[in-house]
């Protein structure tokens, strides 16, 4: 998944998660937004909530990251989104293995 996943912040917290996921899918599938085919979309709980979107092709993620403004429009309201590259944190086993401990 390296290079194909972006992290999205600025999600509308007042909407149900399934509606947010639908709106994100529509936004990031559109070619005018730099989007393309999505392999996976996960909403992560927390304050504030965020989403991880994995695209089928790494070049789509790169186009998304290069686009300056992503705004989600829902019911007449606009939500500016912050889109950054997602860097997965290594698991404890991966860290131990890299240090020769496993």
- Condensed to tens digits (0 to 9), the pLDDT of residues 91-102 reads 555 545 556 665
How many structural domains compose the chain?
Answer: 1
34 inside domain: yes
Report whether pLDDT(90) > 60: no
Q: Domain range spanning residue 20?
A: 5-81
Per-residue model confidence (pLDDT) at position 1: 47
3-state class percentages of the chain: helix first, strand second, coil last, to nearest 5: 30, 30, 35
pTM of the model: 0.82
Report DSSP letters for 61-89, one per residue: HHHHHH-S-EEEEETTEEEEEEEEE--PP
Per-residue pLDDT tens over the stretch 9-34: 999 988 999 999 999 999 999 999 99
Give mean pLDDT, residues 76-84.
95
Report whether pLDDT(44) > 70: yes
High-pLDDT (> 70) share of the chain, % = 83
47 inside domain: yes
18 inside domain: yes
């Amino acid at each position: 998944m390296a290079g194909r996943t972006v992290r999205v912040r600025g999600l509308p917290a007042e909407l149900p998660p399934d509606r947010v996921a639908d709106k994100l899918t529509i936004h990031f599938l559109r070619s005018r937004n730099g989007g393309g085919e999505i392999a996976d979309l996960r909403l992560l709980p927390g304050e504030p909530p965020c989403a991880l979107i994995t695209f089928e092709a790494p070049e789509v993620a790169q186009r998304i990251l290069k686009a300056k403004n992503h705004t989600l429009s829902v019911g007449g309201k606009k939500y500016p989104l912050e889109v950054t590259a997602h860097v997965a944190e290594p698991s404890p086993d991966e860290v131990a293995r890299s240090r020769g401990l496993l």
